[in-house]
Amino acid sequence: MPFHSFEQALARGWPPADWRDVHVLVAVSGGPDSVSLLRAMCAIRARGTGRLFVGHFQHGLRPEADRDEEFVRRLAAGLGLECDVGRGLVRPGRGEGIEAAARRARYGFFRQSAQRIGARFVALAHTADDQAETILLRVLRGTGVAGLRGMPRIRKLSEAVSVIRPLLSVRRAAVRGYLADLGQPFCEDATNLDTTFMRNRLRAELLPLITSRFNPQAVDALLRLGRSAAAAQHVIDALVDDLFERAVRPAAADAAPVEVDCRLLSGESRHLVRELFVRIWQDQRWPLRGMAYRHFDLLADMARPTGGAVDKAAAAKRVFPGNVAARRDGNSLRLKRGP
């Protein structure tokens, strides 16, 4: 029996040969996207040594949470799959909204679950429409080239586990069509209709307005922008890697500072210097939450080559979010995170 067109699209985006011999944890909320991903993966799974597992995290934020959990448990059992359910009380951190806190808790559970069962991948069901919404949302909030890439298809969740988004080229309409053809029920999340959340407002109001009044192919245009930004950022990353190797001396120990040789930044574009500091933050695993464009721009100011005496503004010690202190000392800019 030939594969359904939706299953064929999944197989093109993530060939079974890449995952049939490893364990995969499929994140299933009970909604249409994740249910379609699970059903399609089960349908196209070839013989191999790997197994599929279902992961479900209950945030406890909605009255329907118990219903959704029971639905996912029954779906997994019907497919002969083990289901790992996590629960957690979502507590927003400082400067963190409820959505970000829920996402942090959810990803933490998926990482722990994948490590426990030995899964190589955690499969998430974000679609092309989700990607377009993410890009537009970042445009509205303010972002650089890196942010315009949208969600990465694959990224590390830990040293042994990677997140994979195999449906990023599949439209939401194809998801609904596939489930209808299967006669597969799913859960509707009422919070997706709550337009007090910016993403929901963008999905329900702004994107339909843009599509109807300005560009019927707006989603495709946003996806092309994301692909172009990813290609551009790939070039920028290579330049930053080279500059990092030449100009940065990483901390040799926890108590030692990271040192940047400001002389080697002469002639480099301001954008590249800002990206260099983003790379330092990532390399040191310093918290990026709270670090806005203006902070990295200020670091670029502090690191500018002077050719002579360093002015007082550049020499001043400044403390950035995450308690990272920066001090200009002659031709060096020293960065160190405090306790």
Q: What local confidence, expressed as pLDDT, does residue 307 receive? A: 44
Q: pLDDT tens-digit profile of 251-304? A: 777 667 999 999 999 999 999 999 999 999 999 989 887 898 899 999 999 998
Partner residues linked to 259 by β-bridges: 249, 334
Cα(338)–Cα(240) distance, rounded to whole angstroms?
26
Q: What local confidence, expressed as pLDDT, does residue 309 receive? A: 44
Question: Domain locations in the chain?
Answer: 5-213, 250-337
Percent of the chain having pLDDT more than 70? 93
Partner residues linked to 86 by β-bridges: 57
Extract the tokens encoding 215: 């560009």
pTM above 0.85, yes or no: yes
Helix H segments across the chain?
A: 5-13, 32-44, 65-78, 98-117, 128-141, 145-148, 172-182, 198-201, 207-213, 218-247, 270-284, 293-302, 312-315
DSSP state of 204: I
Q: Which residues of the chain have pLDDT under 70?
A: 1, 61, 90-97, 254-255, 305-315
**Would you state the CATH architecture of domain 5-213?**
3-Layer(aba) Sandwich (3.40)
Q: Would you give the distance in Å from CA 100 to the centre of its chain? A: 11
Q: pLDDT tens-digit profile of 28-50? A: 999 999 999 999 999 998 778 89
What is the average pLDDT score of the chain? 90
